[in-house]
Structure 1
Amino acid sequence: MKSKKMKDEIKRSFFTYAIVVVTVIFFIYLLLLSIVFRLTVIEPNEANHEHVLADVESGFAAYSNGMEELVNASSTIHTFLETGEQASEAYKILYDFRNHQSLHANFLLLNDDEEVVATSFYSGTEEEARNGVALNALTHKLEGAGVVGTRLTSPLRDVHHRSSYVFSAAIGGEEGLLGYLFYFLDLQSFPDQHYVYVTDLFENVIFSNYSYGLTTLGKLDVNRKGNWITHDGDMFYKTQTTLSKQGIQIITMTPISIYRLLVLYGVLTMMISSIAILLVVWFVAPKIVAKSLQPFDGLVALMASKKKYSHLDHEPNYEEVEIIYEEYRSRVSEVERLLDENQIIMEKKRISELKHLEAKFNPHFLFNVLEMIKYELMADPQSASDMVVKTATLMRYNANFGQTLVPLGEDIRYLNDYFSLQKMRYGKRLHYEMTFIPESILDEASIPKLLIQPLIENAIKHNIHKTHSLSIEVTIKTDGDLLTIEIKDNGMGLAKEKVEEIKAIYLGEKEASEQTGLHTVHQLIQLLYGDDYGLMMHSQVEEGTIMTITLPLQKG
């Protein structure tokens, strides 16, 4: 393999990281720009659109439904049209209805001869309104048609108002047509930062706050396919909703040409800056590296000229290099110490495993199993045969000292045999359940051999004679890079003081003849994996005990 020069590698690293940094900055710029665009364009556009939509939809519905009630249920208006009486009451009803609407309008009430009998227009305007509406075909279509909303072909204007949309309804009495009622909607005001258009389904504009995109005939002439549209070189973000029931469309467009320039100029600036940064790194990095590595080059030359560890006594000339020397001396000493300690650890592991095995498969358990086999031989030879096979399997598994780590599935099969023998011994007084999350860990994970059995034996030994029915639940699951084994029983539990005493024993803080199994388990785990792993205990009186083993997840 061809060797590399550190200087070239550092120079290449400088350049690579410069590219990465520039790329990250570029993407952050685009991300921030998109966030700003959403906060300043999309969300305000949609919020304004929803506001206009709600106002227009509710306003149109209010006029349509309200006028239906006025023309059909108002006896005052009927009397006024028939006899001319109750004029003030009729005016009050018409004004009150208008004043309670969110969309302002002017009304016009005609009799059956299409003469103005009541209006809110200024003098002279009502005649223009009558000529603009009554003399066209609209009045002939109103009878029996209910309330009709229509866009005016020519907007109606007076001193303070401009109307492009009218709600119309014919008023009928018992003897026939009495007249016509019209409400002319005033031009509505919308926020200036958005282009808002309210049109009918044929693109005829009813309301708008800008004349942009309108033809001389009052139609909206903008290609509105998609949310991003372009018209006459300008770009917009558009939101559109169609209200089929009312036969209208609401369009909100927000100019975004400035953002197109920001993106263009921003990308151009980023590209120029990136090229400048990369050129500076390419030409300056070698000088920086050479200057920075000058003391290190001297150190390398010094170390290469010495044999074995005699160079450790050399006093370096530079403070930075002195730090390297000190660290190097420390590492060499650490390696020597670890070599010695490793021998001690291996011996402790071997002794710990022997004690562990001895604590698990004790003579009392074997004696009890042999006694059961003796009686089963006379009562049920097949059952006795199964017991012999299981016992032999356990003996063989316990006696195999050549392997510390075993597949989890293999250890679980051993546990199942162990539970089976204990079940034969205690019958219905003992129940157990094993759960694996996920099931695949049985084939994937490895654990120290005989790690779980001592905790099972502990639970049985200290609880089986104190409770009518003992249940033991074994749950093994993964949690990220951890493997957690939980053994839970429903025994008598322990007081807090007793729990602390047992913890002190298995943590090695206190010597005692009891609880050697827990101590062995905890010590074995820490010898194999370090102080971050081990055994935890939680117990409450009359609620049972939970023992938890935490290991690194090892696959294979």
Structure 2
Amino acid sequence: MHHQFQEEVRRALTKYALVPVLLLAFLGSLLICFSWHHYIVMRNEASRQTAAEVLTGILTDYEQRADRVAERLADGPQPLASLGAPSPLRTELYAYLYHEVNITHDATQFFLLDRSCRVLFGSRHTLPPTLTPLSETWGIVRRLKEQPTHAQAEFLTRPGAASRDLLVGRAIVQDGALAGYMLFVVPGEYLTHSITSPHLYFLLADDFQNGVLATGGGPFTTRFGKVADVVAAASSKRITYQKDEYYITQQPLPQGCTLYAITPVTDLLLRYLIGAGLLLAIALIMVPIILCSVGQESARRAKAVDELVEAFARAKRGDLSAQLTVRRGSQLEVVTEAYNHMTHSLRALMQQHEAETRATVISEVRQLESQFQPHFLFNTLENIKFMIKLDPDAAMQMIQALSSLLRYSIRTDVRQVTVDEDLAYTHNYLKIQQYRFGSRLRYEEDIARAARCAAIPKLLFQPVLENAIRYGSDDDGNISVRLTVRRDDALLRVTIEDQGKGLGAAKLAEMRALLKSRNASSRHTGLYNVHRRIQLMYGEAYGLAIACPETGGTRVTLTLPAVRKEEMEECSP
């Protein structure tokens, strides 16, 4: 039993001791997940959406400007070709375009071309080298001819530039015929500067997966300018590229473009790895220490409980010489002290009261034995042993109840107490029995207010209740006990009833004969001692009576004198 209990305590303590380590690991994992989601996923998402809005806004602005010029010229009073020479309309359009492209000081160029792609006027007299030679069959011009009512855009490669320039154009239609073109050239540096972020890279690809715009100088395109396959295939995922780790998301933009947001995560993953390694190292250090401490603690607790059980077993055999070692800080400290105090008090009582009346000595000794029979204490401690594993809080409650019960029982300074005081002791006893029997035990009490301050012998209720619980179970093993206290003029009547099987006629006659005798040779010494104590203290007219009602069960009635009227008024609440 010793090894089994020690193993059970060790398992229970191990479970509770390892909880902080597991909680620390869980919190560390939760922190890593939160950090990844907040600093990588959410920041990447927010930055990509912002960059997409900026690029879309720039493209939309220049498309709208080209549309306004086309609409103005479509309704203009003079042919487009004539705007090569000074005129009010030319001056008006030039002022509008000059103002628009210089709002943001982004060095954007504008050009108004005739149908043959000759410059009529613009921010420069000639087209930039990236647009020459320009013909009606060339990229954007061809698309503008095919869709003259819609703005078109594409990216131009400029020698020596890290990013391509954005070309936005719109066809000019007059009298239902194609008359020319309005072009804007937005520098790639301006686009790059507009979306640059200190936390991640951006890569803009056209509909042919050509890398047309990149921030941060990330190596995410091939030597032919194409977006790397591993990058193009990534969407909301982590990839390994050129021995580094990245988190990539993508978003489609107008004109068939795709924006990639690329967050470098190599350093962060390394920090995560270091943190996880530290947590693992802490766990590897703490777990052996915890297991060693748990082993020592379980052995110490098992030894304390075994010593206590052995002491009560010796007390059950009549040996009260054992003294237990009080371990400060132990959950059994109070019980150990109470046991030592109880055995010391019992020995002192047996030595100091030999000279008193034999009936008083027998009554006191039997009263203590009936209230605290070693088998009850032994069973209670056995229950505590297993409750420590199953329900530590309940075990603590049982220990506290047993401690209060022991303290009350060893008080030698009073012989009489009030009904309320003895009930408080009785409730501690019932609490222990409730843990033992669980839902099978049902207890009720009905105490008259006028009777609560009545004086009664100490430890009056518990022996009778113990007898009712021990022998009052029904066929299903359920126990139902009711305690009633009433004051009837000069008498105090206490009734304890159970709903058990009751006593047969022969057994009932035997019990009544026992109460009339002068010694208790039966196992029902508890009832006899209560009856005898009442008669010794108050006279032969009072005592205990037993009956078995026709409805079943057993009824025990105690009759005592009530306190005087002035004493009751003095203590009434």
Give the structure 2 partner of residue 137 of structure 1: 138
Q: How far is the alpha carbon of 1:308 from its aligned partner?
A: 8.5
Tell me the CA shift for residue 32 of structure 1.
Answer: 0.6
Q: Distance in 2 between matches of 1:70 and 1:198?
A: 28
CA contact (8 A) 2:69 2:93 kept: no
1:31/1:73 CA distance change after superposition, 3 Å: same
Counterpart residue identity of residue 179, structure 1: G
Give secondary structure in 2 for the equivalent of 1:305.
helix
Opposite residue 203 of structure 1, the aligned amino acid is: Q
Q: Does 1:170 align with 2:159?
A: no
Call closer, same or farther: CA 1:155–1:77 in 2, change over 3 Å.
farther
Structure 1 pair 308/82, CA: closer, same or farther in 2 (3 Å)?
farther
Quote the residue 1:358 is aligned against.
none
Deviation at 1:175, TM superposition (A): 9.1
Change (3 A) 1:25 1:183: same
Q: Which residue in the other structure is 2:180 paired with?
A: 179
1:213 aligns with 2:220: yes
Q: 5 Å matches for 1:285-296?
A: 285-290=294-299
1:237 alignment counterpart: 247
Task: With the length of structure 2 as denominator, give the TM-score of the two structures.
Answer: 0.51
What is the match of residue 53 of structure 1? 52
2:270 aligned partner: 261
Alignment correspondent of 1:25: 24
Matched, 1:117 2:120: yes
2:66–2:151 Cα contact (<8 Å) kept: no
CA distance 1:78–1:329, change in 2 (3 Å): same
Separation (CA, whole Å) in 1 of partners of 2:69 and 2:32: 53
Task: Find 2:100's aligned residue among 97, 101, 106.
Answer: 97
Contact residue 80 and residue 114 of structure 2 kept, 8 A: no
Shift of 1:314: 7.1
Partner SS state of residue 227, structure 2: coil
Residue matched to 1:506: none
Using the alignment, how far apart are the partners of 2:276 and 2:103 within structure 1?
53
1:204 to 205, 210, 225: 210
Q: Give yes or no for the alignment of 1:155 onto 2:152.
A: no
Cα distance in 2 between the residues matched to 1:221 and 1:310:
90
Deviates more, 1:308-317 or 1:188-197: 308-317
Deviations 1:485-508 (A, max 9, x none): xxxxxxxxxxxxxxxxxxxxxxxx
User: Quick one: structure 1 residues 113 and 133, their matched pair in 2 at CA, closer, same or farther if it must change by over 3 Å?
Assistant: closer
Cα-to-partner distance string for 1:461-482 (whole Å, 9 max, x where unaligned) = xxxxxxxxxxxxxxxxxxxxxx
Amino acid at match of 1:264: L
The residue identity in structure 2 corresponding to 1:82 is: S
TM-score, length-normalised on structure 1? 0.52
Cα contact 1:45–1:254 (8 A) shared by 2: yes
Equivalent position amino acid for 2:405 in 1:
R
Between the two proteins, the alignment pairs up a number of residues equal to 345
Query: Shift in Å at residue 191 of structure 1?
Result: 0.8
CA RMSD of aligned residues (A): 4.1
Q: Secondary structure at the match of 1:9?
A: helix
Determine if contact 1:229/1:236 at 8 Å carries over to the other structure: yes
1:225 aligns with 2:234: yes
| 1:393-450 deviation digits (Å, cap 9, x = unpaired) | xxxxxxxxxxx9xxxxxxxxxxxxxxxxxxxxxxxxxxxxxxxxxxxxxxxxxxxxxx
Q: Which residue, out of 265, 271, 283, partners 2:280? A: 271
Q: How far apart, CA to CA, are the structure 2 residues paired with 1:233 and 1:214? A: 15
Contact 2:5–2:302 (CA under 8 A) maintained in structure 1: no
Alpha-carbon distance between aligned partners in 2 of 1:314 and 1:23, rounded to the nearest angstrom: 42
Q: Name 1:302's counterpart in structure 2.
A: 311
The 2-side partners of 1:129 and 1:94 are apart by 21
Deviation at 1:41, TM superposition (A): 1.0
The residue type paired with residue 54 of structure 1 is E
Q: Give the 5 Å matches for 1:457-468.
A: none
Residues 1:154 and 1:217: Cα distance change in structure 2 (over 3 Å):
farther
- 1:255 & 1:317 partners in 2: Cα distance? 63
SS of the residue 2:261 aligns to: strand
Separation in structure 1 between the aligned mates of residue 212 and residue 245 of structure 2, nearest angstrom: 23
Are 2:197 and 1:191 equivalent residues in the alignment?
A: yes
Partner of residue 330 from structure 1, selected from 379, 401, 404: 404
Give the Cα–Cα distance (whole angstroms) in 2 for the partners of residues 157 and 265 of structure 1: 43
Unaligned runs of 5+ in 1: 350-403, 405-556
Amino acid at match of 1:270: L
Could you tell me which runs of 5 or more consecutive residues in structure 2 were left unpaired when the two chains were aligned.
339-399, 409-423, 435-440, 448-479, 481-573
The 3 A distance-change label for structure 1 pair 311 and 248 is farther
Cα offset, 1:44, TM superposition: 1.1
Percent identity, please: 17
Contact 1:156 1:163 in 2 (8 A): no
- Identify if the C-alpha distance between structure 1 residues 319 and 154 changes in structure 2 by more than 3 Å, giving closer, same or farther: closer
SS where residue 254 of structure 1 aligns?
Answer: strand
Q: Distance in 1 between matches of 2:223 and 2:133?
A: 19
- Per-residue CA deviations over 1:166-209 (Å, capped at 9, x if unaligned) read 11223233495443221122221221321112222221223221
Worse-superposed segment, 15-24 or 84-93: 15-24
Residue 316 of structure 2 aligns to a residue whose secondary structure is coil
* 8 Å Cα contact 2:165-2:187 kept in structure 1: yes
CA contact (8 A) 2:170 2:183 kept: yes
Structure 1 residue 100: deviation in Å? 5.6
- Tell me the residue number matched to 2:484: none
Amino acid at match of 1:25: L
- C-alpha deviation, 1:303, in angstroms: 3.2
Residue number in structure 1 paired with 2:7: 8
The one-letter code sitting in structure 1 at the alignment partner of 2:222 is T
Aligned twin of 1:247: 256
Larger Rg: 2
- Cα 1:346–1:89 change in 2 (3 A) is closer
After superposition, the Cα gap between the structure-2 partners of 1:105 and 1:309, relative to the gap in structure 1 and judged at 3 Å, is: farther
Distance between the aligned counterparts of 2:218 and 2:111, measured in 1? 28
Match of 1:253, SS state, is: strand
Secondary structure (helix, strand or coil) at the match of 1:70 reads: helix
Task: Note the C-alpha offset of 1:18.
Answer: 4.2
**Quick check: 1:171–1:178 contact (8 Å CA) kept in 2?**
yes
